[in-house]
Amino acid sequence: MEKNFVFAPASVGRDLRKEGERLAQLTKRKGELAELAFILKAASLGLIVSKPYGDSFLYDLIVESDGGLRKIQVKSSFHSKGPGHSVSLAREKDKDRLTPWYAEGDIDFLAVYVVPHDAWYIVPVQAIKGLKSLRLYPIPPKKKNGGRYEIYREAWHLISAPLATTAPALDRNPPPGGS
């Protein structure tokens, strides 16, 4: 006698959870491969790269250059939907809102590897301030305003540049009666 298999809600939920876990593992694996690609590329350029213990930081790697340490968050895009490659920069704060994830102090650079084009984008954190996503166009789009991040393509020199010294902020409101 042949048994018919009926998908009960519990088994469907279990199957979806398994698929979600498989996709999460695949996503994590892609991220790990992108980190390895970054390490190889940076080391080939003479940069010293370190990996912090664990994965609970907002940055993935640390690069030492010119006596300073830079915190690097590595992202990757393995395929695109449409003319460009999207990278998420947001986290879910609640069900209806996404909040920008990276801010100055959290990371120094975002390094995005667009795998199909073997292209790296080395983007300073100041350039992504407040953004929830980033769209990169390794193949120039037909629109004029499309490749605003192309200036950061293969911009490894930004990571190896000397650390900027910050001057104290000037007091623009002198005390009353002062000059």
Q: Cα separations (Å) of 118 from 49, 56, 73, 79?
A: 20, 28, 18, 12
Count the domains in the chain: 1
Residue 165 confidence (pLDDT) above 60:
no
Does any domain span residue 129?
yes
The model's pTM is: 0.74
179: in domain: no
Give a yes or no: residue 148 inside a domain: yes
Residue 17 maps to a domain: no
CA distance 123 to 155: 8
Residue 95 lies in a domain: yes
Instruction: Note whether residue 16 is domain-resident.
Output: no
Residue at 119: amino acid letter: A
Question: Please, are residues 38 and 32 in contact by the beta-carbon 8 Å criterion?
Answer: no
Q: Is residue 91 part of a domain?
A: yes
* 19 within domain boundaries: no
pLDDT tens digits for range 4-22: 544 444 554 556 566 656 6
The residue type found at 139 is I
Looking at residue 49, its amino acid is: V
Note down the domain range covering 46: 25-160
CATH number of 140's domain: 3.40.1350.10
Higher pLDDT, 42 or 2: 42
* Lowest mean pLDDT segment, chosen from 67-76, 80-89, 142-151: 142-151
Residue 113: CB atoms within 10 A of its CB come to 23
